[in-house]
Chains A and B, each alone.
Chain A
């Protein structure tokens, strides 16, 4: 914030940029490119597949949201990027290219130099993410001095500045306070300061507001988007809260049971949700018909995932083709909007799942679409809107 003592930092930033340009292979390669990421865990119950071959990219300065129910592998996916997953029992395959380098192929020391200055993390629960035995200042200074050879005093000055920047009042006094002396929201701010200490290019925020009060959530989100603009970071944001997604995302990746179901710009996903799972998620939003019942059924057993589409067992539209072979390959609907669903392939009629046009047996779906619009427009629930849609659809499907 203050102009005077930021000079060294600017220099460091310039260095990093120069390095980046030298090492990046192509000019248009995204900041982060994840290809075929697959993370498995060896457990007593067998091999648990948490993330099963997913791809996505994050460009410079862009916010990508990873969306899905709890347990769909979002967190493991983000932690696999910088190999935070303990191995063993974890095992990570695939390619994670960050500024042209494959993070999964790096040796331990090289990956450590990426953690912090390259990719920083903010975790879900600020309560335990800070070590209770050290002052918050110490923990920020550690993040600085692990990577940069700066004096204690300089690191302290920068830590105080960071605390100030993330909105901790009276930062130089609070530098010497312990985590338990901070509230949950303040702790998350400190965590953000820790993440910013290395001046990262990519910030991975794993449900950073879930554990916080609703009022605090909004302020943390606001802070994150401010900082993103200021530091020019790419942000990979994990959440199950679609309201948050609508607010901050540029692009959305919908995950279910370790697989990508749908991806696209925030507009694509909210205005033209194409995968039944995405549609089911959206219908769980308040005022959209399904908020009471949620999505029926539960996530498949990660040690024995079902054949075919992972969502098929819970899908109201599932047909025989959904339960065979592998997860259907992605079909690109429009530029950047992809969906992994058999109804968009082999000449099947996508309107069955989209719920427009064809009136046969999918009236509920079409209703839902209109209802969503209605609900968001006048903010009230119509009588039909509160009727659970799934029951009727199942009935008609069987007939």
Chain B
């Protein structure tokens, strides 16, 4: 009892949220004219055909002549069976295009997430341990710089500096290099660096402020009185309680950057990942692909929030599962 029931309840809730979002998405799509249908009409008009007829044909072809509830049911079935339709732009199933893009996105997302999670709390706690020293001020400065500088702007500047002027890194992303190779590391170094500086700031600040509170807590005095070394005291008695409030920030921060800036960073650095795919789909008016990328990001967000909730509850022993 307890935890499993709580997790089950959160999973059900996440499913509800995803359903709501999918429904709203459907509503938005259904309420607007489909670009493909409009294009068919334009095409027909240009070729001297009957636009009305072309619209009818196209609507029938895409199943738009069905009643709304049938289309909604079809849509839901399609979404949840991962049958996300055909991408006109990529000329292959949307799911296939997405999984390939995910492969490229993961190559920079994984190191970025890991680095953020490792470095952020460490610097934050270190900053708190040396509060108001020059090291703390430096860390604070870096934190503010990191989350104030627009990622895409920072990316452009670094690309200009290291790619164009210094020629240390390739300007054009190469998809042919092996995942675990030096070339890949070189071409991903700047994007990862840009993303890390963006996400690390908030995490550093939160861990600094929270651990500052725990640093002066009575239990730190207890630990000291027990003969625990300062390093151990920080590693266990400060770091661990800091994780609790931090867990509520980390996922949100990473998600915000994943959903927003990764798109920009992929466009700037030419990485053919999910963000780039979304962008291309938007430009090419590929409805299925736009929908597919949106839904994928949405699910990532829902799952992220789910993880955040569970992690927070697991981390803080004082929270009883019945409360939330």
Asked if A and B touch directly (CB within 8 angstroms), the answer is yes
A residues contacting B by CB (< 8 A) are 79, 82, 84, 112-117, 120-121, 123, 125, 128-134, 139, 142-143, 146-147, 178, 180, 191, 194-195, 197-198
Contacts of A128 in B (CB 8 A): 217-219
Give the chain A neighbours of B219 by CB distance below 8 A.
128-132
- Distance in angstroms from B22 CB to nearest chain A CB is 38
A residues in contact with B240, CB < 8 Å: 131, 133-134
Distance of A103 Cα from B316 Cα, bound (Å) = 38
B225 an interface residue at 8 Å Cβ cutoff? yes
The answer to whether A143 and B218 touch across the interface, beta carbons within 8 angstroms, is no
Chain B residues lying within 8 Å of A195, measured Cβ to Cβ, are: 225
Pair B241/A84 contact, Cβ less than 8 Å: no
- Which residues from A are CB-within-8-Å of B226? 115-116, 120, 142-143, 146, 194, 197-198
Q: How long is the Cα–Cα vector from A195 to B221 in the complex, in angstroms? A: 12
Chain B 198-237 interface mask (CB, 8 Å, partner A; 1/0): 0000000000000000000111011111111100100011
Determine the residue in chain B with the shortest Cβ distance to A135: B317
Name the residue in B217, B221, B229, B316 with the highest tally of chain A Cβ atoms < 10 Å from its Cβ.
B221
A129 and B221 contact, CB distance less than 8 A: yes
* Majority secondary structure, B binding face: helix
Is B324 located at the chain interface by the 8 A CB criterion?
no
Contact A146–B227 (Cβ < 8 Å):
yes
Q: Are B318 and A180 in contact (CB-based, < 8 A)?
A: yes
5 contacts between A and B (CB under 8 A): A116-B225, A130-B219, A131-B223, A142-B226, A178-B318
For B218, give the chain A residue with the smallest CB separation: A128
Contact B227 A112 (CB under 8 A): yes
- Closest B-chain residue to A131, C-beta based? B219
Q: Check if B117 is an interface residue, CB within 8 A of chain A.
A: no
Residues of B within 8 A of A198 (CB): 226-227
A238 to chain B, nearest CB (A): 14
Whether, in the assembled complex, B36 has its beta carbon less than 8 Å from a beta carbon of chain A, the answer is no
Query: In the complex, what residues of A have CB within 8 A of residue B315's CB?
Result: 133
Chain B: minimal CB distance from A39 (Å): 15
- Tell me how far the C-beta of A356 lies from the nearest C-beta in chain B, rounded to whole angstroms: 44
In the complex, chain A residues whose CB is within 8 Å of the CB of B318: 132, 178, 180
Q: Are B228 and A84 in contact (CB under 8 A)?
A: no
In the complex, besides A121-B221, A133-B316, A133-B317, 4 extra interface pairs with C-beta distance below 8 angstroms are A112-B227, A123-B218, A128-B217, A178-B318
Q: Verify B227–A180 contact, CB threshold 8 A.
A: no
Top 7 nearest A-B pairs (CB, nearest first) are: A128-B218, A116-B227, A115-B227, A121-B225, A131-B219, A178-B317, A143-B226
